[in-house]
Amino acid sequence: MIPGTFDYHAPNSVDEAIKLLSSLGDEAKLLAGGHSLLPMMKMRFANPQHLIDLNRIDKLRGISEQGGSIHIGAMTTENELIASKLLQEKCPLLPEAARLISDPQVRNCGTIGGDIAHGDPGNDHPAVMLASEAVFVLQGPGGERMVAADGFFHGLYYTELAADEILTEIRIPIPPKGSGYAYSKLKRKTGDFATAATAVQLQLDGKTCKKITIALTNAAPTALRAKEAEALLTGKSLDEALIEQAAQKAMAICDPAEDMRGDRDYKIHMAGEMTRRAIRLALSRAGGN
């Protein structure tokens, strides 16, 4: 369990990092929290010739409110998300999900940006980002571009992020006061990836569901947005029957891979169950029942 040899670079600015990335090309990898990349390197699945450590770029850390949205530096750690009063108040879905990621030590290193950019469907933030309708700021040699979370995740370990780009910031529109939210995650034990998990963000107008976003973790090669389920619930007053239909619609788009957590059948059913639970919880938090 020893990584191969590589050169180490610790830039102090994003520009510097991008320069390195462009000049070193394919053989360079970005090091964020390292808890996905370093184990892969120790197993010699990943053998980058160069590591570009983003941990010394202070600009990439921090959580702030700007206009109607929350801006989160890509190198902000999971524990910083959990501790953030701003998020707890304005965007509680994130800390709720972050609390369910790995364990305390890993959450001290693991970053929201790394979790997203890695493109692993087992990571929790991608679904949370889809449900939050987040926008990602990608910076490359040609400058910045904004990409919506919905459309960022293309395939297994394959995202919209170009080889010479860095995910620098995550922007999340602040949900209106009184919105409901929930991240329901089933795992084998503390610290494990999700067997299935669902993120829900929901607004009520009186009794009717004004808006709902539903996204699934580890149910397919990428995180999934359950749009048909959303459409089914939008504009209706939610009850168990409707929630059940929505869960069925969510299950219909699942394409999970079998592993020690369970076979496809189990994972699809669990995606359905986590969807039920997340909708119910979000509904009650929004003051519905």
Partner 1 sequence: MATTAESMEREQKLEGIGCSRKRKEDPRFIQGKGNYVDDVNLAGTLFASVVRSPHAHARIKSINKAKALALPGVHAVLTADDLKPLKLHWMPTLAGDVQAVLADEKVCFQYQEVAVVIADNRYIAADGVDLVEVEYEPLPALVDPHKAMDADAPIIREDLVGKDEAGQGKRLHNNHIFRWEVGDKAGTDKVFAGAEVTVKQAMLNPRVHPCPLETCGCVASFDKVRGDLTVYITSQAPHVVRTVVSILSGLPESKIRVISPDIGGGFGNKVGVYPGYVTAIVASIVLGRPVKWIESRIENLSTTAFARDYHMVGELAADKNGRIKALRVNVLADHGAFNSHAQPTKWPAGLFSVCTGSYDIPVAYVKVDGVYTNKAPGGVAYRCSFRVTEAVHLIERMIDILAQKLDIDKAEIRFRNFIKPEQFPYHTALDWEYDSGNYPAALKKVMEAVDYAGLRKEQEEKRKKGELMGIGICTFTEIVGAGPSKACDILGVGMFDSCEIRVHPTGSAIARMGTQSTGQAHETTYAQIIATELGLPSEVIQVEEGDTSTAPYGLGTYGSRSTPVGGAATANAARKIRDKARKIAAHLLEVSPDDLDWEIDRFKVKGVPGQEKTMKEIAWAAYNNVPAGMEMGLEAVEYYDPPNFTYPFGAYICVLDIDRHTGESKVRRFYALDDCGTRINPMIIEGQIHGGLTEAYAVAMGQLIAFDANGNLLSNSLMDYFVPTAVETPKWETDFTVTPSPHHPLGAKGVAESPHVGGIPCFTNAVNDAFSHLGVTQIEMPHTSFNVWKTIHELGLDKQV
Partner 2 sequence: MEVKLEKKFSIAAPAANAWRLLQDIKAVAECMPGAQITEQLDDTHYKGQVKMRLGPASATFNGELEVKSLDPNEKKMEMFGKGTDTTGASAATMNLTARVLDSGNGQCELVGVSDVSVSGKMANFGGRMMNQVSEQILKQFGDNFTSRVMAMGEGAAAEQAAAAVAQQPKELNALALIWHALLGFFKSLFGGGKA
Partner 3 sequence: MAKKHISFTLNGAAVETLVEPRELLIHVLREELRQTGSHIGCETSHCGACTVDLNGKSVKSCTVLAVQADGGEVLTVEGLAQNGQLHPLQEGFMQEHGLQCGFCTPGMLMRSYRFLQENPKPTDDEVRMGMSGNLCRCTGYMNIVKAVQYAAKKIQTPGGK
Give the residues lining the site for partner 1 (CB under 8 A). 1-2, 4-5, 44, 103, 186, 188-192, 195, 240, 244, 259-263, 265-266, 269-270, 273, 276
Q: How many CA atoms lie within 13 A of 187 on its CB side?
A: 20
Report, in Å, the least distance between residue 192 CB and partner 1.
Answer: 8
**Cβ neighbour number for residue 215 with a 10 Å cutoff:** 30
How many residues does the structure list for the chain? 289
User: Could you say which of 7, 27, 58, 265 contacts partner 3 (CB under 8 A)?
Assistant: 7
Report, in Å, the least distance between residue 3 CB and partner 1.
Answer: 9
Question: Residue 205: which of partner 1, partner 3, partner 2, none does it interact with, CB under 5 to 8 A by kind?
Answer: none
Q: How many CA atoms lie within 13 A of 6 on its CB side?
A: 24
**Cβ neighbour number for residue 24 with a 10 Å cutoff:** 18
What is the Cα Rg of the chain in Å? Answer: 19
User: Could you say which of 13, 42, 158, 235 contacts partner 3 (CB under 8 A)?
Assistant: 42
CA angle 89, 95, 98 (to 5 degrees): 175
Report, in Å, the least distance between residue 198 CB and partner 3.
Answer: 22
**Cβ neighbour number for residue 196 with a 10 Å cutoff:** 27
Select 154 or 264, whichever has its Cβ closest to partner 1.
264
Query: Tokens 């997340």 appear where?
Result: 278
Q: Is 191 in the site for partner 3 (CB under 8 A)?
A: yes
Question: Residue 266: which of partner 2, partner 3, partner 1, none does it interact with, CB under 5 to 8 A by kind?
Answer: partner 1
Nearest to 82 by CA among 67, 102, 68, 56: 102
C-alpha–C-alpha distance, residues 196 and 261, integer Å: 9
User: Could you say which of 155, 176, 178, 287 contacts partner 2 (CB under 8 A)?
Assistant: 155
Q: Is 48 in the site for partner 2 (CB under 8 A)?
A: yes
Select 79 or 139, whichever has its Cβ closest to partner 3.
79
Select 105 or 237, whichever has its Cβ closest to partner 3.
105
Q: How far is CA 3 from CA 40, 48, 215, in A?
A: 8, 10, 35
User: Could you say which of 21, 37, 186, 238 contacts partner 2 (CB under 8 A)?
Assistant: 37
Q: What is the DSSP letter of 175?
A: P
> Which positions lie near partner 3, rule CB under 8 A?
1-8, 10, 34-35, 38-39, 41-42, 51, 53, 55, 79, 102-106, 108-109, 190-191
